[in-house]
Amino acid sequence: MSSPVVKLNSGYDMPLVGFGLWKVNNETCADQVYAAIKAGYRLFDGACDYGNEKEVGQGIARALKDGLVKREELFVVSKLWNTFHDGDKVEPIARKQLEDLGLEYFDLFLIHFPVALKWVDPAERYPPGWAGADGKITFSNATIQETWQAMESLVDKKLARSIGISNFSAQLIMDLLRHARIRPATLQIEHHPYLQQKKLIKYVQNEGIVITAYSSFGPLSFIELNMDSAHNTPTLFEHNVITSAANKHGKSAAQVLLRWATQRNIAVIPKSNDPTRLAQNLEVTGWNLEESEIEAINGLDLGLRFNDPLNYGFYIPIFA
């Protein structure tokens, strides 16, 4: 089974369901990518910061060699890390990431966070992380406009087919659109029943920008990071609103959570190394939740954000 697609404002089609590469460990990454391609996944969402792009590339290369898929059938997403926002640093790091992946172009390249940090030489530390070698945050003076213009040049040079943003607020998007020559194709945000960001989503979709949701299962993605708020928040997989809908439709709780997003034209990027769940996560578009079920899930919003620099000990209050 493969995913249906959504048309981006760049003219390209993006699968509505993809495979997320965050926290996929290096030892198993190549095999997981290969297995996901075999299962029907065509979108792979990665980043410099995940530290596994070489392994992702190995999995893709094996699948291409074995004839499972053609390059043009894949939609590979990566992200520009905070330490590479200076205009003259964007293209060199994009080329390095492409080399790691063994690819000639990104299907979509995103600004990972609206935070410009001091450049870190990849030869010294890669991925660079949030803090410098001294454990402190050092900001760069690069503006969003400077960074975006460098991102646009990646499209001009055919290093990226589409470009987009991640973790941006509505105000920053408004500012970006004032000067953008190439509009962002997508906005990637944390999105689950406990954090729904309804006003942001409405604004962005009205601007013709596609939303991609990460951490669709809420606290589950963050428990292993020893985040107190994740440990203290009821799991969505066991919430009666989710389980009752799952039982009614003969689906898993994960499928209900993913369908809640895709039914509203929000792309999702779950991951799993379990073959059954891998297949189930793709089966989240050929059936519908009832409106009453969607409204019940909408009622779970707590405004509870997990993926925040503040939760990792860095005083960068971008979501304040």
- pLDDT tens for 225-259 read 878 777 788 899 999 999 999 999 999 999 999 99
Look at residue 133 in the predicted model and tell me its pLDDT.
Answer: 80
Backbone angles phi, psi at 195, to 5 degrees: -145, 95
The reply to whether 50 belongs to the active site is yes
Look at residue 186 in the predicted model and tell me its pLDDT.
Answer: 99
Look at residue 310 in the predicted model and tell me its pLDDT.
Answer: 93
The pLDDT > 90 percentage for the chain reads 90
How far is it, in rounded angstroms, from Cα 306 to Cα 296?
22
Report whether pLDDT(193) > 80.
yes
The CA-based dihedral angle spanning residues 312, 318, 319, 320, taken in that order and rounded to the nearest 10 degrees: 100
Report whether pLDDT(212) > 90.
yes
Could you please state the CATH topology (level 3) that the domain comprising 5-304 is classified under: TIM Barrel (3.20.20)
Higher-scoring residue by pLDDT: 183, 320? 183
Look at residue 167 in the predicted model and tell me its pLDDT.
Answer: 98
pLDDT level of residue 224 (50, 70, 90 thresholds): confident
Look at residue 232 in the predicted model and tell me its pLDDT.
Answer: 84
Look at residue 132 in the predicted model and tell me its pLDDT.
Answer: 84
Report whether pLDDT(12) > 90.
yes
Q: Is 112 annotated as a binding residue?
A: yes
Which sign does the torsion angle of CA 118, 124, 128, 130 carry? Answer: negative
The CA-based dihedral angle spanning residues 69, 161, 189, 43, taken in that order and rounded to the nearest 10 degrees: 0
Look at residue 229 in the predicted model and tell me its pLDDT.
Answer: 79
Instruction: List, for residues 45-103, the tens digit of each pLDDT value.
Output: 999 999 999 999 999 999 999 999 999 999 999 999 999 999 999 999 999 999 999 99
- Choose the catalytic residue: 12, 34, 41, 50: 50
How far is it, in rounded angstroms, from Cα 41 to Cα 82?
28
